[in-house]
Amino acid sequence: MNISIAIMAAGLGTRMKSTLPKVLHEISGFEMLYHIIKEAQKISDDIHVILYHQADLVQERMNRYFSNIHYIIQDHQNFPGTGGAIRGVRPKYERLLVLNGDMPLLEAENMQNFTHLDADVVMSAFTCKEPFGYGPGIIDSPSDF
């Protein structure tokens, strides 16, 4: 357990067309965010959840299950986006794994794959036929893989 984990859960979730924060929508009887925190706890004792939209509600729901989570409120007005979200994280360990709170199917075993890489920065990306709603990952050359 020598890695800290930051889970981004600050988004508005506008594409969900719901007043409920995206990370609180349930899958298999539990909130999306619950699933990712549960798996993250299997590989880290230092978990940070970045909140903004309905932060009190998200934190209250997660406190039903977890007591050892660090919550950070993103200064969304001045520092939006992923960089702004990570800005307030003060990790316990030198290595930090950044996860999305709306990826509930990610398992600890998959997360563990990123903890042993010897690199300053590692980014996971994918290609898909319908990329609407995803941010682009621009690669300068095939050797960047």
- Percent of the chain, pLDDT > 90? 49
pTM of the model: 0.85
Tens of pLDDT, residues 69-93: 999 998 877 777 777 788 889 999 9
Q: Which domains does the chain have, with CATH numbers?
A: 3-119 (3.90.550.10)
Residue 143 is predicted with a pLDDT of 59
Q: From CA 44, how far away is CA 108, in angstroms rounded?
A: 10
Please identify every stretch of the chain with a pLDDT value under 50, giving residue numbers as ranges: none
Please provide the DSSP assignment of the chain as one string.
Answer: --EEEEEE-----GGG-SSS-GGGSEETTEEHHHHHHHHHTTT-S-EEEEE-TTHHHHHHHHHTT-SSEEEEE--TTTS-HHHHHHHT---SSSEEEEEETT-TT--HHHHHHHHT--SS--------S--TTS-----SSGGG-
